[in-house]
């Protein structure tokens, strides 16, 4: 054993989270490890596995998984070491050895699978080996299913339940394409038989595996009906059968009851996938996303917005809509990465789904009440949000002038889409790299001189909306601004989005988002938007880590 | 029970009256303000039996009448006394399907326990604690059984909102054989029980168990659906094929003080404060990305149940908490138990203090609160003592203000359906007998028709609404809920007549 490894291992205290974390970090930085060194380290990491459940810390098991990851990084030479410990591991630690092995991917599977038949006669070994199979995330792992199912016929019910558990995990984590039709039928018929096994644990795992097949859409319509009847009787909702004696089995079946598709109220019609259908880079850090949400698309009107939550850990943020397709059932949003959540959204790819999208929220934009010219002003990512309103006004026969402002040429977005629904579009850039140089207000001043303007809508940064409102105030032109206040629920429940309009407190989510620009207290809005600046920075740094 | 065992001489009423009240064991105040674990520990079996012995089993029990859902209180207490805990829970479930919730959050001291005969001379029987014990026993031992259900009627009901009113109505309708779909606007079912009531009063797993139970009865939940926006009531009735709609949207529009500085940064409504923590897990920031800039000195305005929840939550986030209320301790509307628990947790109290202004720093963050000292007038004809300003003011430091001044009704449903009428406070007008709104086939219950009340009252109304919906759907009066046992009812009548 070399000195550096000796020091590392002696410094490792497997009861201390700090010590384990430190050691793992140090090992990560080591270079040119020899095979012997790797084996020494691996043996030391096994101590972490063994102690993971004997400390009170909840982060110890996570660290053990991390240690397993490190072992896998050492390469395939470690597989025999892992394997030898796996077969003798107790039920609490076997998963760490299994997970570390499974990280070797195809090589791990090819190593592990032949060993299964060798150890078939020893129940304890077999249970651990089957459990290890459950952690493989490569489609090839599906090829082990027939063997696992044959093992499931074992007299020892612990082997059976572990085999069913493994199949359940594989069904959940592998893509549906990994399972051929015959394989699906084979899994279904085997697991279905186990629903009447004498042991509750076996029934539970069988029910769970079948439920997961249902959820993944691996069941044929006929099998689904069969399973529905079985689950109903397990839960005691079928008059002819008694419910399952074992609480764990009932609970499992109850959990999956809502996922059956052929019931008379098709709840599925109310569940939207929130999947990203297309994704297009508009300018730096700004994406145009098309999201599948047929119910929202059917109802949304110009000016309304949605609240999205990309994943279960994230916050709910309001986003305006720039387009929708009622027949395809999609809505379009523009997301500019400015904070943690928007950065996370922009990291999502086509096919990824939002956790939640709620909408349409807020009131639709007001339309001009008298004939004349309407001016719609979009600043930055607000450009997209004026398009639906421009289309609506254009449909009433009024003249529509769009003004788009951006820092420079590269940041001008959605111009052609806007041109399609406006009589005239004026581009402005701060540096003069495209269109007229200057601010949107410079363009507005010029329009006000030559046209009879009866309606102004401005969407964009608060200072821009404020400047626009100030410019139209002397002539008392009806001016609307769309306020992007901080929101939580979006239904008027929390009051986070309160804004001062004409001396009164209004809720942007419910009374807005459009308000009379001449009455809005912009100062207060700007200050309120900075409420969480410190936290946002913290969250952003957390994201980078 | 072994029949041959000689039964001990039954206690006389006088003896029962004299038995000591079993105090609910609580977690230590110093330790508990560091975590979100439930504060009351719960009765042991011995304690539950000792407490149950105190019930006099009155011939005409006043407690049943004082309970909004009419739980047969003496009957379930008797079962606990006999050690039949599972049966006791079953008894409660005949009329109340959320016993574990109600045992924890009901204002028993204003309802059943207020009229308890034992309470005239001694501390009243701990009905809430016993209800909680029975429900917990049932859950922990997996004794919960399926209720008897009617055959499917083929009628469909849409329930809007999954709070106490929505869940109760869904339960009552499901056991009558109707298909129920619950539409929830947020991403999580449970309404105020999830976003408003803190975990240390009502652990999440209890609400989840009850929701799981509903799904077992065939009730389906749909999330992220703001009814009125994504689907209107008219859509539900005309296009989506629902035969009736039950509105349980609650009172969600927070009231704010209209004083200078109330829109400053760091001023929250109680709803926002609690929602950020309990629905969005802001206290696990930055793992969960919802921020909450809760400071070191939190000022809470109001002294209702929600105010107590906010104070105790802020305390658990490590803040120093002060309560400002314009009346005095005795007028505080909170449940007495909550007030007591809050007092144990070292909250500072400023009774008779009416906030008149919030001072802000240069970044618009609140830094000080200015209050006027109040005094109480003599009771007027309604018996209520009004706060009267004294002209004396004081200023205190704070960096977060939470206003807990009650809520108005959520306006989305009435504002998107002209046929649903509201009064000038936005409360949905219903027929008090049937809970039917001015629109045919649309019923409402809970805070949406009261403008802010308790879980149990909402459940009582939902029960009434569900019965009316059932009658409306079947086109004629039919048997009431199968939960009511006819034979027992008749027996009771016979007893009363004797």
Ordered by where they begin, the domains of chain B are 13-145 (1.10.1060.10), 156-252+408-474 (3.50.50.60), 271-403 (3.50.50.60)
The radius of gyration computed from the CA coordinates of chain B, to the nearest angstrom, equals 24
C-alpha to C-alpha distances, B148 to A238, A239, A351, B27, B217, nearest whole angstrom: 12, 10, 44, 39, 10
Q: Is the Cα torsion angle B484, B490, B493, B495 positive or negative in sign?
A: negative
Q: Least CB-CB distance to A500: which of B221, B263, B286?
A: B263
> Which residues lie across from B436 on neighbouring strands?
B443
Q: How do beta strands A498-501 and A504-507 pair?
A: antiparallel
pLDDT reported for residue B485: 38
Q: Which of A493, A496, A529 to mutate to test the interface with B (most CBs of B within 10 A)?
A: A493
Chain A, window 344-373: residues with a beta carbon less than 8 angstroms from a chain B beta carbon: 355-361
Backbone angles phi, psi at B385, to 5 degrees: -95, 120
Q: Least CB-CB distance to A536: which of B156, B291, B410?
A: B291
Instruction: Say whether B215 and A257 touch across the interface (CB within 8 A).
Output: yes
For residue range A44-88, what is the model confidence (pLDDT) as tens digits?
888 888 888 777 777 888 888 989 988 988 888 888 888 988 888
Query: Long-range contacts of range A192-200, CB-CB < 8 Å, 24 or more positions apart?
Result: A192/A226, A192/A227, A192/A230, A194/A152, A194/A160, A194/A164, A195/A230, A195/A234, A197/A157, A197/A160, A198/A157, A199/A157, A199/A160, A199/A161, A200/A244, A200/A245, A200/A246, A200/A248, A200/A249
Instruction: Say whether B286 and A316 touch across the interface (CB within 8 A).
Output: no
Tally of residues, chain A: 545
d(CA A384, CA A302): 11
Instruction: Say whether A270 and B225 touch across the interface (CB within 8 A).
Output: yes
Cis ω for the linkage preceding B52 (within 30 of 0)? no
Q: Least CB-CB distance to A360: which of B187, B220, B229?
A: B229
Chain B, window 266-285: residues with a beta carbon less than 8 angstroms from a chain A beta carbon: 266, 268-269, 271-272, 275-276, 279-281, 285
Chain A, window 222-251: residues with a beta carbon less than 8 angstroms from a chain B beta carbon: 235-237, 243, 247, 251
d(CA A223, CA A184): 10
Instruction: Give how far A108 is from chain B: nearest CA, Å.
Output: 33
pLDDT reported for residue A308: 92
C-beta of residue B437 within 8 angstroms of C-beta of residue B420: yes
d(CA A354, CA B77): 49
Angle subtended at Cα A148 by Cα A143 and Cα A152, rounded to the nearest 5 degrees: 155
Q: Which of B224, B256, B273, B281 to mutate to test the interface with A (most CBs of A within 10 A)?
A: B224
pLDDT reported for residue B480: 40
3 state SS for A328-392: CCEEEEEEECCCHHHHHHHCCCCCCECCEEEEEECCCCCCCCCCCEEEEEEEHHHHHHHHHHHHH
Q: Least CB-CB distance to B272: which of A313, A491, A494?
A: A494
d(CA B344, CA B29): 6
Residues 6+ apart with CB under 8 A from A361: A304, A305, A306, A307, A318, A490, A491, A509, B226, B229
Residues 6+ apart with CB under 8 A from A54: A15
d(CA B49, CA B16): 12
Q: Is B422 on the interface with A (CB under 8 A)?
A: no
C-alpha to C-alpha distances, A444 to A148, A365, A381, A391, A454, nearest whole angstrom: 72, 20, 19, 20, 13
Instruction: Give how far A323 is from chain B: nearest CA, Å.
Output: 16
Which range among A180-184, A525-529, B57-61, B478-482 shows the weakest confidence by mean pLDDT?
B478-482
Instruction: Say whether A315 and B212 touch across the interface (CB within 8 A).
Output: no
Burial class from Cβ neighbours inside 10 Å (0-12, 13-18, 19+) for residue A327 reads: exposed
Instruction: Say whether B265 and A528 touch across the interface (CB within 8 A).
Output: yes
Q: Which residues of B touch A258 (CB under 8 A)?
A: 215, 220-221
**Hey, what CATH class is A271-361 in?**
mainly beta
User: First CA to last CA across chain A, in angstroms?
Assistant: 34
What the block records as the tokens of B272 is 């926002």
Q: Which residues of A touch B293 (CB under 8 A)?
A: 531-532, 534-535
pLDDT reported for residue B498: 33
What the block records as the tokens of A288 is 């145009």
Tally of residues, chain B: 498
For residue range B401-411, what is the model confidence (pLDDT) as tens digits?
999 988 888 88
Q: Least CB-CB distance to A254: which of B215, B230, B265?
A: B215
Instruction: Report the percentage of chain A scoring pLDDT > 70.
Output: 97
What the block records as the tokens of B100 is 């574990």
Smallest CA–CA distance from B208 into chain A, residue: A255
Instruction: Say whether A265 and B252 touch across the interface (CB within 8 A).
Output: no
Residue B305: enclosing H or E segment and its boundaries?
helix B305-316
Residues 6+ apart with CB under 8 A from B390: B372, B373, B374, B375
The count of C-alpha atoms lying within 13 angstroms of the C-alpha of A466, restricted to the half-sphere facing its C-beta, is 9
Residue B284: enclosing H or E segment and its boundaries?
none
Q: Which residues of B touch A542 (CB under 8 A)?
A: 286-287
Give the pLDDT mean for B307-325. 91
Q: Which runs of E-coded beta strand occur in B15-170? A: 156-160
Q: Least CB-CB distance to A315: which of B179, B268, B290?
A: B290
> Which residues lie across from B40 on neighbouring strands?
B26
C-alpha to C-alpha distances, A41 to A132, A232, B337, nearest whole angstrom: 21, 52, 57
Alpha-carbon A239 to chain mean position? 41
Instruction: Say whether A527 and B363 touch across the interface (CB within 8 A).
Output: yes
Check whether B484 has a pLDDT greater than 50: no
Q: Which runs of E-coded beta strand occur in B196-334? A: 220-222, 244-247, 253-254, 267-269, 297-301, 320-324
What the block records as the tokens of A290 is 């098309």
pLDDT reported for residue B6: 55
d(CA A338, CA A335): 9
pLDDT reported for residue B493: 38
**Highest-scoring range by mean pLDDT, B149-158, B319-328, B477-486:** B319-328
Q: Which string of b and e fits A350-373 if b means at least 16 CB within 10 Å?
A: eeebbebbbbbbbbebebbeeeeb
Q: Which residues of A touch B262 (CB under 8 A)?
A: 505
Check whether B496 has a pLDDT greater than 50: no
Instruction: Say whether A296 and B230 touch across the interface (CB within 8 A).
Output: yes
Instruction: Give how far A324 is from chain B: nearest CA, Å.
Output: 14
d(CA A437, CA A508): 33
Predicted ipTM of the assembly: 0.83
Instruction: Say whether B363 and A530 touch across the interface (CB within 8 A).
Output: yes
C-alpha to C-alpha distances, A414 to A293, A378, A387, A419, nearest whole angstrom: 22, 10, 9, 9
Query: For B374, left (φ over 0), alpha (ψ -120 to 50), or beta?
Result: beta
3 state SS for A58-123: CHHHHHHHHHHHHHHHCCHHHHHHHHHHHHHCCCCCHHHHHHHHHCCCHHHHHHHHHHHHHCCCCH
Q: Which runs of E-coded beta strand occur in B113-183? A: 156-160, 179-183
Residues 6+ apart with CB under 8 A from B20: none
d(CA A116, CA A148): 9
Alpha-carbon B233 to chain mean position? 26
Q: Is A532 on the interface with B (CB under 8 A)?
A: yes
d(CA B264, CA A495): 13
For residue range B226-264, what is the model confidence (pLDDT) as tens digits?
998 898 998 888 888 888 999 998 887 888 888 888 888
Q: Is B190 on the interface with A (CB under 8 A)?
A: no
Q: Which residues of B touch A241 (CB under 8 A)?
A: none
The count of C-alpha atoms lying within 13 angstroms of the C-alpha of B446, restricted to the half-sphere facing its C-beta, is 30
Q: Do domains A271-361 and A373-529 have the same CATH topology?
A: no
Please list the ranges in chain A whose pLDDT falls under 70.
1, 237-243, 258, 261-268, 544-545
- pLDDT-derived band at B372 (thresholds 50, 70, 90) equals very high
Chain B, window 104-143: residues with a beta carbon less than 8 angstroms from a chain A beta carbon: 142
Backbone angles phi, psi at A358, to 5 degrees: -115, 135
**Hey, what CATH class is A373-529 in?**
alpha beta
Backbone angles phi, psi at A365, to 5 degrees: -65, 145
Q: Is B162 on the interface with A (CB under 8 A)?
A: no
- pLDDT-derived band at B457 (thresholds 50, 70, 90) equals confident
Chain B, window 382-411: residues with a beta carbon less than 8 angstroms from a chain A beta carbon: 410-411
The radius of gyration computed from the CA coordinates of chain A, to the nearest angstrom, equals 31
Instruction: Give how far B5 is from chain A: nearest CA, Å.
Output: 32
Strand order in the sheet with A356-361: A276-283, A286-292, A330-336, A317-325, A305-309, A356-361
- Residue with tokens 């407490």, as numbered in its chain: B51
pLDDT reported for residue B287: 80
Q: Is residue A458 classed as helix, strand or coil in its secondary structure?
A: strand
Residues 6+ apart with CB under 8 A from A334: A282, A286, A287, A288, A289, A319, A320, A322, A381, A383, A384, A385, A413, A414
C-beta of residue A305 within 8 angstroms of C-beta of residue A298: no
Q: What residue segments make up the domains of chain A, in order of their start?
A: 1-104, 271-361, 373-529
Burial class from Cβ neighbours inside 10 Å (0-12, 13-18, 19+) for residue A298 reads: middle
């Amino acid at each position: 054993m070399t000195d550096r490894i000796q020091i590392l291992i002696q410094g490792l205290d497997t009861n201390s989270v700090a010590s384990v974390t430190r050691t793992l970090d140090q090992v990560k930085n080591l270079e040119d490890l020899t095979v012997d060194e790797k084996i020494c380290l691996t043996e030391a990491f096994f101590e972490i596995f063994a102690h993971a459940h004997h400390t009170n810390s909840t982060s110890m098991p996570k660290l053990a998984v991390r240690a397993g990851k490190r072992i896998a990084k050492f390469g395939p030479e470690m597989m025999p070491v892992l394997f030898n410990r796996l077969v003798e591991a107790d039920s609490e630690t076997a998963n760490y050895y299994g997970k570390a092995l499974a990280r070797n991917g195809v090589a791990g599977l090819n190593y592990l699978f032949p060993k299964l038949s060798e150890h078939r006669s020893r129940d304890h070994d077999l249970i651990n080996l089957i459990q290890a199979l459950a952690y493989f995330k490569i489609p090839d792992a599906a090829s082990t299913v027939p063997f696992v199912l044959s093992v499931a016929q074992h007299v020892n019910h612990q082997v059976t339940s572990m085999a069913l558990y493994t199949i359940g995990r594989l069904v959940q984590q592998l893509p549906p394409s990994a399972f051929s039709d015959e394989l699906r039928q084979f899994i279904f018929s085997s697991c279905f038989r186990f629903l009447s096994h004498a042991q509750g644990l076996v029934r539970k795992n069988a029910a769970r595996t079948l439920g997961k097949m249902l959820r993944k859409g691996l069941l044929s319509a006929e099998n689904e009906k069969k399973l529905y009847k079985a689950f109903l009787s397990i839960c005691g909702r079928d008059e002819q059968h008694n419910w399952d004696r074992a609480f764990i089995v009932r609970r499992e079946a109850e959990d999956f009851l809502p996922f059956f598709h052929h019931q008379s109220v098709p709840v599925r019609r109310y569940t939207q996938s929130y999947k990203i259908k297309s994704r297009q880079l508009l300018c730096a850090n700004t994406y145009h996303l098309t999201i599948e949400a047929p119910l929202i698309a059917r109802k949304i009107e110009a000016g309304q917005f949605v609240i999205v939550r990309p994943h279960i850990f994230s916050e709910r943020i309001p986003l305006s809509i720039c387009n929708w397709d009622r027949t395809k059932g999609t809505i379009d949003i523009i997301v500019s990465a400015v904070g943690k959540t928007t950065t996370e959204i922009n990291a999502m790819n086509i096919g990824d789904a939002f956790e939640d999208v709620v909408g349409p929220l807020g009131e639709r934009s007001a339309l001009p009440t008298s004939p004349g010219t309407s001016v719609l002003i979009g600043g930055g990512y607000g450009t997209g949000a004026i398009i639906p309103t421009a289309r609506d006004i254009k449909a009433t026969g009024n003249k529509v002038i769009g003004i788009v402002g951006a820092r420079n040429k590269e940041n001008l977005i959605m111009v052609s889409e806007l041109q399609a629904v406006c009589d005239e579009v004026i581009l402005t850039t701060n540096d003069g790299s495209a269109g007229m140089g200057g601010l949107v207000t410079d363009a507005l001043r010029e329009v006000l001189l030559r046209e009879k303007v009866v309606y102004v809508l401005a969407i964009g940064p608060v200072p821009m909306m404020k400047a626009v409102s100030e410019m139209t105030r002397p002539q008392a032109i009806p001016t609307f601004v769309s306020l992007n206040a901080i929101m939580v629920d979006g239904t008027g429940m929390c009051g986070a989005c309160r804004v001062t309009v004409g001396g009164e407190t209004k809720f942007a989510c419910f009374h807005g988002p459009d308000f009379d620009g001449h009455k809005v207290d912009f100062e207060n809005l700007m200050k309120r938007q900075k409420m969480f600046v410190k936290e946002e920075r913290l969250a952003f740094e957390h994201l980078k880590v | 029970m072994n029949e041959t065992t000689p039964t001990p001489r039954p206690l006389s009423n006088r003896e029962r009256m004299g038995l000591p009240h079993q105090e609910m064991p609580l977690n230590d105040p110093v330790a508990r303000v560091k975590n979100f674990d439930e504060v009351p520990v719960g009765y042991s079996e011995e304690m539950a039996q000792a407490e149950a012995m105190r019930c006099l089993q009155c011939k005409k029990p006043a407690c049943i009448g004082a309970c909004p859902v009419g739980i047969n209180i003496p009957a379930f207490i008797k079962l606990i006394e006999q050690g039949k805990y599972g049966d006791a829970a079953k008894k409660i479930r005949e009329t109340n399907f959320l016993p574990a919730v109600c045992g924890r959050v009901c204002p028993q001291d204003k309802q059943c326990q207020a009229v308890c005969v034992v309470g005239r001379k001694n501390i009243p029987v701990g009905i809430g604690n016993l209800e909680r014990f029975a429900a917990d026993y049932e859950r922990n031992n997996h004794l919960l059984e399926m209720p008897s259900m009617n055959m499917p009627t083929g009628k469909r009901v849409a329930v809007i909102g999954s709070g106490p009113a929505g869940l109760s109505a869904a339960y009552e309708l499901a056991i009558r054989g109707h298909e129920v779909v619950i539409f929830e606007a947020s991403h999580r079912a449970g309404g105020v029980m999830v976003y408003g009531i803190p975990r240390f009063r009502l652990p999440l797993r209890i609400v989840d168990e009850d929701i799981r139970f509903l799904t077992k009865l065939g009730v389906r939940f749909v999330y992220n659906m703001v009814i009125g926006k994504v689907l209107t009531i008219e859509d539900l009735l005309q296009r989506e094929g629902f035969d009736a709609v039950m509105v349980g949207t609650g009172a969600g529009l927070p009231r704010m003080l209209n004083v200078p500085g109330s829109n400053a940064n760091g001023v929250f409504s109680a709803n926002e404060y609690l929602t950020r923590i309990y629905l969005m897990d802001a206290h696990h920031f930055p793992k969960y990305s919802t921020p909450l800039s809760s400071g070191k000195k939190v000022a809470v305005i109001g002294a209702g149940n929600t105010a107590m929840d906010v104070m105790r939550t802020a305390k658990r986030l490590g803040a120093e908490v002060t309560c400002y209320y314009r009346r005095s301790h005795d007028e505080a509307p909170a449940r007495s138990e909550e007030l007591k628990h809050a007092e144990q947790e070292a909250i500072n109290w400023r009774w008779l203090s009416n906030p008149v202004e919030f001072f802000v720093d240069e970044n618009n963050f609140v830094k000080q609160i200015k209050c006027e000292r109040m005094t109480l007038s003599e009771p007027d004809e309604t018996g209520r003592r009004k706060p009267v300003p004294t002209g004396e003011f004081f200023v205190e430091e704070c960096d977060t203000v939470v206003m807990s001044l009650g809520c108005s009704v959520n306006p989305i449903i009435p504002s998107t359906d002209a046929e649903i009428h509201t009064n000038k406070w936005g409360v949905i007008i219903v027929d008090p007998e049937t809970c039917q709104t001015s629109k045919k086939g649309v019923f409402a219950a809970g805070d949406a028709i009261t403008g802010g009340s308790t879980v149990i009252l909402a459940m009582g109304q939902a029960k009434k609404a569900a019965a009316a919906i059932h009658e409306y759907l079947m086109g004629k009066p039919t048997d009431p809920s199968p939960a009511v046992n006819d034979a027992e009812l008749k027996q009771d009548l016979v007893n009363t007549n004797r």
